[in-house]
Chains A and B, each alone.
Chain A
């Protein structure tokens, strides 16, 4: 049902808009003055001041590969992340671990692991899908480069960004 709205009856002065205009001018000049004398400070000027130290633990930055405290690379080249990646940013070339390796029973390792950061959408699905706790989104967010090629993170770069992660499940360790 339509509800009739009672329009307020404006006086002649109000209908000339002049008091409203004057009031508006006062508001804007107050903001101008406060800003001019440094009373208002709402902008954080980016390169000088950042949130870097206060980023939450669940922050989704660039995806990286991690090693554990044994120095083992955790990725077993199952390629689940490659398949789930919505923009298809991940490319993995699996390789076979040699028989005399300490971790020979893991059998596979990524010979090549590349993440194209020009395609990555930082969704975190790779981290969620990983059964090995090998890929994590860390806190690097300023990924820049001068060519498209330089934005493709190879294995070396990914481990460099990822570093060592402790407190993970060690399912490949020998049973005690």
Chain B
């Protein structure tokens, strides 16, 4: 079930009311919210619920096993087995087709025949997110950062519908403590919740989809049909589109959780005002960055094993982070590009003095360049895009609304953070009834901008 659909508009008010009604009786509330989340997930494909349940049980068994022993070898072994199970599941569902095809092509080149059956395996939506959350739970138990929770709490943690499909990646130690007691019905951030839902809808439907439809899809689809000015404009438009699409989803997810009394970690913080790659990753998909740092970069040795090893660790982390987005060489190279950026930044170590605006300018444009790689359908089209970018020609894609959308998205992020926060807080303190009515009006207006082709899925649903 997707957020901007009629099904969800019927589902959510019912679940919200029942959730608060049952909240004081935790024994009833917990099974109810698991059931509601599984119903939400089953709308995509009921068979995927089995996978979610299997991941939940496997990690809970592992967590209980880890907690039951003080023998460090056993704890490590059980953790490793659980992580292999989680990553194995991800590999089968997400990467099998890609790797089987690549290996098959390679062996065919040497006339060695087919090594594995080529089958198209359905990608369960959200699998990348809930397997990472499962890993975070098991590893945090092993690290003694959290105690093993009850099975039903783990089931809620992994399946809670606001974050189930596309995050944010909520850590066990951030969420499970919120299940320890009933959420306080007297302290709910209703204004912030409704405000975030409204903001997310505007970002997704009015900005991201508009830019995608009118600028990005035509240019990235057939770059050979466009010239430099259009392709440069489309690259910036994609930067705005992917930000609005993904952060729009996150805003809605965080807003829905707030209305239900839960708090999720922040996932975006004006990423296009970053003044370096490190700064960018502290602002863009922050929950993934934290996951990669804590569960990959630091265990690999982080920056504690010398310069060369630090660069290798950065590169490995970012390449795997790129691959997490999908089974394609463009994602791998995008990860390597960011790994290189982080390594160069680390090597310079602040020795290169440059004014803030220049650091912002360079970072922003490099990030946009990276997005070209990320968005390109394959490496051949990426190369075509680059070669066409230097071809002189007319600027045909920069319509008034597209330029305005781009200016608003980038411009708002460059405002001092306190200014935009101040505006948000003022809106979020308005009366809930007023905000509820305003949200209805906004949905009517946003809905009117949807073309007959419909609302395309969120970009991160594919990941």
Interaction A to B: no
